[in-house]
Amino acid sequence: MGLADLHLHTIYSYDGTASLAAVLNRARQIGLDVIAITDHDEVKGAIKALEIAPNYGVEVIPGSEITTADGDLLGLFIKEKVQAGLSLVETVLRVRELGGICIAPHPMAGGMGMKSLGGRVILKALRIPQVADTLIGIETYNGTSIDRISNHYAAILASRLKVAKTGNSDAHTIDTMGFGVTEFDGHTAADLLAALKNKTTKAHRNKEWSPLRILGSWGIRYVGSAFSRLTGLAWT
């Protein structure tokens, strides 16, 4: 059984705190086979992570958490930046053109400025065949979501829509990596992709902190990484 965390932020996100090396090293330490680097509206970090990942024994899926006009969307297996601000449908189709797939992260979650897709928006988009072939999963467990009840609603939505279920951390610090993971048969990114398409993935909760502890950890890490961020020391 393989383990993946498909929603991770690095210093390449405006609210990220960890270098690529730190993320990869932590992924190895906690036994992840595959990770996706999904910085906000950016792929530069993911591309660099691909280059150094072999040194850590962890496979990297390049991706991005894309800001759509309807809410956030994970684009995976993409190596080009996708324009922010497009509709959900337009964004999914752009990811499709790039050969990628999409996952709806923390749907219906609110709080702390979260921009989440609503259930009706997802349902309407999936009526378009090309969208349904690309938007193939929903994040049914987000390990650092402040709005915990949204995980329950996301699981119900995924079951109703009969799409793949994923568990991810949405980590903005190395401390919270792996809080949510996606289980799949195999150990490689190719195995994971096949499992997503076959809807055989399972979302699993590894650990859970209180919202206050999550925010406190991020605040400390964010302040602590400020110098490295400004000087560029944490970019690799």
159: Cα within 13 Å, side-chain hemisphere: 8
pTM: predicted TM-score of the whole model, two decimal places: 0.95
* Whole-number Å distance between alpha carbons of 66 and 79: 13
SS3 (DSSP) at 63: strand
Q: State pLDDT tens for residues 115-160.
A: 999 999 999 999 999 999 999 999 999 999 999 899 999 999 999 9
* DSSP letter, residue 88: H
Alpha helices of 145-188 — where are they, by DSSP H? 149-161
> Residue 227 has which token pair?
């110098």
**Is-contact 39 76, C-beta < 8 A?**
no
- Domain coordinates in residue numbering, the chain: 2-230
* Residue 219 confidence class, pLDDT cut points 50, 70, 90: very high
Say if residue 232's pLDDT is above 70.
Answer: no
Does pLDDT of 235 surpass 90? no
pLDDT of residue 225: 86
Decide if pLDDT at 112 tops 90.
no
**Pairing relationship of beta strands 34-37 and 2-8 according to DSSP bridges:** parallel
Residue 228: what pLDDT?
74
pLDDT band at 50 (very low <50, low <70, confident <90, very high): very high
The pLDDT score that the predictor gives to residue 55 is 96
pLDDT at 231 over 80: no
Q: What is the average pLDDT value for the chain, to the nearest integer?
A: 95
| CATH topology assigned to domain 2-230 | TIM Barrel (3.20.20)
Predicted confidence at residue 77, as pLDDT, reads 98
> What is the band of 113 on the pLDDT scale with cuts at 50, 70, 90?
confident
